[in-house]
Chain A
Amino acid sequence: MITDNYTAANRRRYSLAESFHIDVPLMVGLLLTAALGLVILYSAGNQNEAIIYRQLTRLAVAFGIMIVIAQIPPQQLRFWTPWLFAIGIILLIAVLTFGEGKGATRWLDLGFVRFQPSEIIKITLPMVLAWYLADAPLPPKPSRVIVCIILIIVPTLLIAKQPDLGTSLVIASSGIFVMLLSGIRWRYIFSAMITAIAAAPALWYFMHDYQRQRVLTFLNPEQDLLGSGWHIVQSKIAIGSGGLYGKGWLNGTQSHLEFLPERSTDFIFAVFGEEFGLMGILVLLTLYLFIIARSLYISAQAQNTFGRLVGGSIAITFFFNIFVNIGMVTGLLPVVGLPLPLISYGGTSMVTLMIAFGILMSVHTHRKLLSQ
């Protein structure tokens, strides 16, 4: 009955993927990007096979979790949403009280597992907003918009206090994306933007010294060559010296002579640009664009508001991460510690990301069951 609408040929072709609730085009896009990530990580990690094995393990775990999430029907996810969000908020408060981490308190150690509660919020904030907004007709009334703003501001401030500027920025944005997609009137949007610009000096007042330093460095990197400006200058040299076609895989001198800091994690894009050049980057950006477009398409096809809003927010947040990371590495934006999705070495954000794509697949592949 699921396959009623398909021809016999399609049935054979899609039956396996469909019985596991996998969206094949999205899956292919994700796998290709991750594979490209492994290739550049091998070079960035100085051909250390151990790093590759660890990253492969993480990818396997993350894809596994994605598939597990995809099996859960969206109604179920929607039912759990407020509870998951509440747990996330409680854990955020807990991490401020008992957390541990270098300089900033972001980690919560439960004995058997260590994680950042902000990762839970990354997923559940868009979900809780969608859950709330789906209850009433769209576009939302002003009173509902105010509730949404409160729902966004509380976790954002809690995370900014850790302090983790990059993550709080991503989380606030993902919430705003849900509101934008919900059809909130343009005039509200524009007035909010004007307020934000006016509030920027106040934000400066609340920033930590190192955060202010980053902004100053962004405005004039050459001034602080041996300090935080080093990152930006070196990564611009790496990318610029890559040229159109790059220096070739494993041949990036900037990266391999240790001029480039954090080259396996936040600055891996610079290694990519140095070794594969503009052409390589275009391939990578095309893959990313495909994933984003497919995700938006899936959201548009969703059969209810919750699915649409969550899916759309995931797609745009995914792009937002990419944009902020590349913007930072190319010197367009200040340095905020955000990894490049699917490429950077690291585990936590990868799992979060794949959970999000799991939700997208769930939204897409369960939709026939909903049709009346």
Chain B
Amino acid sequence: MKNNRLFFWVLTGPGTAFLLLFLILPLMSIVVFSFWRTESYHLYADWNLDNYRVLATNPSYVTFLLRSLFMASVVSFVSLVVAWPVAFFITRYGGQFKIILLLLTSTPFLTGEILRVTAMQQILGPIGLINMALTTFGFDPVTALMYSKTATAIGLIYLWLPFMVLAIHLSLLNFDFELLQVAKVNGARPLRAFWEVTWPLNRAGSAIGVVLVFIPTLASSITSKFLGGPNGALFGNILAHQFGSTGTWALGSAMGVVLFVISLLVLYIVWKSIGDLNRSGITIKGGAE
């Protein structure tokens, strides 16, 4: 038993130290920097609340934040609605093709954000496939797709939807589909069986999926930069700007802290909403069997 503890820490120790040192510590440090001051690209340690005062009182920052929150909510909701039937079908009827069907939904994710946005721009933009096809065949182009918030939303769904499918699938793997037969025998229609059996027993999958889509969408900057047009900037774009030409790192840190705190808050709310862990589809040991 004592040996087990020793082996456990020998094996997990290096990774734990690595993550504490290079992930958690830097994240903590931006909290510190957010109370500092920047002058000509240098950070000075005069403690003050100015950065937060600017963020709270300048209406444009608040607007950008609200816009990002709205965007993240819409993108998470649409992804949830689209991912459910897909994940359900793959898990229940996928059979021996389960792994390949699932891999096909997540492989494009690995080509990276910038190349996926590049591909999306060729479909949605003013000279993209959809609008060129419409004008060629004598229809009016859809302006909503050209450099707009709608285009950004479609791009973000394109980027993060695979996470949602994966999260719901992992939850459904432990779901006993026999329960649906029981519901049917007892007279429940499929829709009612879904709402009263499948959905509540797999809410952990939905919740984790929502968080995995919401957090990166809230902070996104690349998609809106290339698909959103001149008025499509989101909070992430303004944050990125502080590290570009203006060099106001302290203000940027404060914006980062705001994003991080909201992420934690969302995580906490969603975690609380799951309720009883054992009845929510979470597998503690992570086993698929």
Q: Do A and B come from one complex?
A: no
